[in-house]
Amino acid sequence: MRAALIRHFPTAIAPGICYGRLDLAPGDGDVAALRQGLVAAGLDAAPIFSSPARRCRALAEALAAGGPVTFDERLLELDFGDWEGIAWDDIPRADFDAWAADVESNAPPGGESGAALRARVAAFHAALPGRSVVVGHGGPLKLLAALLRGETPGLLTPAQPMGALVLAPPEEC
């Protein structure tokens, strides 16, 4: 199995705002460079899967250049519930600390736990064809990358940069 994992381009939201599932307008980036990366990886004709969020949808459609794209809600970012759209610094510290102490089991108020995110990404991974392109968000992509490498995904590991293409596994097996 081999996949090109592409995180959406940066959006125009102010720094420091929690925006998980907010459906933000797409940002600009170098689509041609991503296409070249897909060609170099031999994945330019692979099926494209994407989060349905606008910031991912626009990029996936640009990469597909009129070809088909499968939009899958399992690729949506973690649902931060009541915290979405507010500054991280404005989240009550005790609430944030309680969530961060066990992101696997805890969920932001009205949001989703890490276990729920992990379960949806694992279900997507189980259905993924042998060669594919996946356009998504930092949280789901880092979990999917670990699964493709045969590793246990970490919920708090750093995500790939916005607008970056990562191959998983990094080398053909």
Round to whole Å and give the CA distance between 37 and 45. Answer: 12
Walk me through the domains of the chain, giving residue ranges and CATH numbers. Answer: 30-168 (3.40.50.1240)
pLDDT for the residue numbered 124: 98
pLDDT for the residue numbered 173: 42
pLDDT for the residue numbered 154: 86
pLDDT for the residue numbered 172: 55
Average pLDDT per block of 10 residues along the chain, 173 residues long: 96 94 94 97 97 98 96 98 97 95 96 97 96 97 96 90 94 55
Q: Which residues of 26-35 are buried (b: 16+ CB within 10 A; e: fewer)?
A: bbebebeebe
User: Crossing angle of helices 114-127/138-148, nearest 10°?
Assistant: 50
pLDDT for the residue numbered 153: 82
